[in-house]
Amino acid sequence: EAGVAQSPRYKIIEKRQSVAFWCNPISGHATLYWYQQILGQGPKLLIQFQNNGVVDDSQLPKDRFSAERLKGVDSTLKIQPAKLEDSAVYLCASSLAWELRGYTFGSGTRLTVV
């Protein structure tokens, strides 16, 4: 089966600019996650969708981050305005609802804020 697709692979922006990342999950996967992985750390969950509804966004910095999953398939994560500390790899993952196989992760988008 095709994996989780993410784009772009790399992005460099200046602080205070805006940026958007795109994720296409595995076909049929109802649950979609966005994680932030700062260099030298493990991934941290930002937001979890079940179909097109938000299940958990408790760790999403809502003053600058937003995410949507229209039609319960693709998802977009946006940062506006970006800060230096937002430099990280943004990973998207998907899973079948209540599927006990664990997630499938995409390759991520590496964001550098200068």
Partner 1 sequence: AQSVTQPDIHITVSEGASLELRCNYSYGATPYLFWYVQSPGQGLQLLLKYFSGDTLVQGIKGFEAEFKRSQSSFNLRKPSVHWSDAAEYFCAAGSGGGADGLTFGKGTHLIIQP
65-98 b/e with 16+ CB inside 10 Å = b? bbbebeeebebebebeebeeebbbbbbbbbbeee
Cβ of residue 6: shortest distance to partner 1, in angstroms? 8
- Decide if residue 43 touches partner 1 (CB under 8 A): yes
**DSSP assignment letter at 60:** S
- Decide if residue 42 touches partner 1 (CB under 8 A): yes
- Decide if residue 71 touches partner 1 (CB under 8 A): no
Which positions ≥6 away from 18 have C-beta within 8 Å? 78, 79, 80, 81, 82
3-class secondary-structure state, position 97? coil
Choose which of 13, 17, 20, 45 interacts with partner 1 (CB under 8 A).
45
Choose which of 25, 48, 77, 82 interacts with partner 1 (CB under 8 A).
48
- Decide if residue 54 touches partner 1 (CB under 8 A): no
Stretch that binds partner 1, among 15-23, 70-78, 80-88, 104-112 (CB under 8 A): 104-112
Furthest-apart CA atoms within the chain: distance in Å: 40
- Decide if residue 25 touches partner 1 (CB under 8 A): no
Residues that contact partner 1, how many (by CB under 8 A): 28
Tokens found for residue 53: 């509804």
List residues near partner 1 by CB under 8 A.
4, 31, 33, 40-45, 48, 55-56, 91, 93, 95-108
